[in-house]
Amino acid sequence: MGCGTSMYPAGERKNKSVPEVVVYVPSMRIPAQSDLQRPLRGLIPQDLVDRLACLRNQIVFVAEDTGGSAVAELRRALEEYLSLLIGLTKKEHGLEGLVEFKWKNLESGRQENSVANSLFELLSVIHMIAMLNLSEANRLMIPKDRSGSGIRVVSSDCKRDGVDLLLKASGCLVFCVREILADLPPDIKKTISKDFQDGVLEAISIQALGQGTEIQLGFAVESQKASLSVKRRLACEQMIYFGQAHHFLSELDMSNGHGKKHLCFIKWKFLEAKAAAYYYHGLILDKGTEPACHVSAVCCFLAAGGILSESKKACLTFCLAAPVTRSPPLWGAMKHLHQKIPEVASRKSQMYGYLLEEEKALQALPDLPDFDLSLAPDDFVLPEIDPAWDRNKGGLHSQPLKEHLKDSEDETEN
């Protein structure tokens, strides 16, 4: 929940303070200890088995020891593990269902899944990479105040890096939906965590694009060169992204786990974007010379003010939903708009109050323009399969399966 980095394994907090959330991070899942040695012994070369087991154990240890905060180290280990894991998913190797892969929730420490399917392991690893990217983006957007002044500034570099991480996370999740979930057997799909439902992964992927657009809108507000049309477009795009994310989640059962909090976050961000969109739409309409333009502009400003008030309530609801979090200080576009929207709405309604009385028939809230969405997920590409699989092609299944099964039975009896 944007706070995976503040957790000990088994759910014990390193930091008792309530974590902040800028970028929403669903509950992170990490691998649990699994036996790779026994089911693979004799079927592939021992050095390959050892490397697979060693890398997976390394990921388990680092994730548990750091609460998922060692993002760079975990990402490197996961990517190296992926290149080896791909070999277990190849149908020609016939190893897909031999190993029972176990995963658990980082916050609670509770085991969530134990599935004997290497595609499930592939899905879980790429999902974890996506969550690490979201977690790192959240960290970048919450800088430490080292001056002691209480003022925290997010650098432009951190914001750009944050957008890059959001696009990467989105691409990982799109890959999970299109390339892995589609190939998982139906009986496996029924047993895995609800976090892996198509709609949940789609929603988080789109939501990441919406948050990237939110950062871009902040850049535009800070730039003297950005036009009102550009700002309106970005606000409308952000609103569309969060509207789409809500559509995916609203069709699912989100009553368990962090589902309710997830929906609250999306509603909060949707309302913020909608308030911004109506504000900038009003500024553009107000440039017209006809009385009707000013009336429509005032309608937009008043609507923006009302929606902004709703968004503040939605933010509070999100923060209080379990697990409790706190919103960061105002930043980006909303730092500017929380002051400007009420101010402009009040001033313009007084300025054109006489028109509102005279042109009551024209007081319908104008429609916002529709735009094509500009941000797209980064393509996620699997790494090349580890050369060890090619070098050892002749050694695969070097021990007859009958002997392998007999050895496994002997071990179980012992």
Contact call for residues 103 and 192 (beta carbons, < 8 A): no
In a domain, 197, yes or no: yes
- H/E stretch holding 29 reads strand 29-31
Residue with tokens 């595609």: 119
- 327: Cβ contacts below 8 Å, ≥ 6 apart: 20, 21, 315, 318, 319
What is the band of 16 on the pLDDT scale with cuts at 50, 70, 90?
Answer: low
Closest CA to 319 of 10, 16, 22: 22
> Is the model's pLDDT at 411 over the cut of 60?
no
Is there a domain that residue 88 lies in?
no
Q: Could you tell me if residue 258 is inside a domain?
A: yes
In a domain, 118, yes or no: no
Contacts of 104 (CB under 8 A, 6+ apart): 29, 30, 31, 32, 110, 111, 112
Task: Calculate mean pLDDT across residues 399-405.
Answer: 45
Residue 124's nearest CA partner among 108, 107, 106, 101 is: 101
The bridge status of strand 101-105 relative to strand 29-31 is antiparallel
pLDDT band at 363 (very low <50, low <70, confident <90, very high): low
Does a structural domain hold residue 67? no
Which of 37-41, 42-46, 94-98, 325-329 comes out lowest in average pLDDT?
325-329
Q: What is the pLDDT of residues 294-337, one digit of tens each?
A: 889 999 999 999 999 999 999 999 999 988 998 878 888 999 99
Question: Which pLDDT score is estimated for 409?
Answer: 47
- Predicted confidence band at 395 (pLDDT cuts at 50, 70, 90)? low
Per-residue pLDDT for 191 more than 80? yes
How much is the pLDDT for 32?
Answer: 93
Give CA–CA dist 379/175, Å, rounded: 8
Of 112 and 235, more confident: 235
Reported as a single tens digit per residue, the pLDDT across 130-181 is: 999 999 999 999 877 655 555 678 899 999 999 999 999 999 999 999 999 9
pLDDT at 4 over 50: no
Name the phi and psi angles at 197, rounded to 5: -65, 145
Residue 120 · residue 184 · CB < 8 Å: yes
Measured CA to CA, the distance from residue 17 to residue 29 in angstroms comes to: 22
How many other CB atoms are found less than 10 A from the CB of residue 320?
Answer: 12
Q: How many CB atoms lie within 10 A of CB 201?
A: 25
pLDDT of residue 2: 43
CB neighbours of residue 160 within 10 Å: 14
Tell whether the model's pLDDT for residue 207 goes beyond 50: yes
Query: Residue 287 belongs to a domain with what CATH number?
Result: 1.25.40.280
User: Rounded CA gap, 102 and 171, in Å?
Assistant: 25
Q: Which two tokens stand for residue 120?
A: 């499930």
Question: pLDDT-derived band of residue 80, with 50, 70 and 90 as boundaries?
Answer: very high
298: Cβ–Cβ under 8 A, 6 or more apart, which residues?
282, 345, 348, 349, 352, 355, 356
Residue pointed to by tokens 């680092």: 62
Which position has the higher pLDDT, 15 or 216?
216
Mean pLDDT of 51-66: 94
Share of the chain above pLDDT 70, in %: 86
pLDDT at 146: 55
Q: How many domains does the chain have?
A: 1
Range of the domain at 323: 149-371
Q: How far apart are CA 165 and CA 135, in angstroms?
A: 9
**Per-residue pLDDT reduced to its tens digit, 214-268:** 999 999 999 999 999 999 999 999 999 999 999 999 888 777 667 889 999 999 9
Whether 45 is in a domain gets the answer no
Residue 14 predicted with pLDDT over 50: no
Q: What is the mean pLDDT of the chain?
A: 86
The three-state secondary structure class of 351 is: helix
Q: Residue 142 corresponds to which tokens in the numbers above?
A: 């919450």
286 found inside a domain: yes
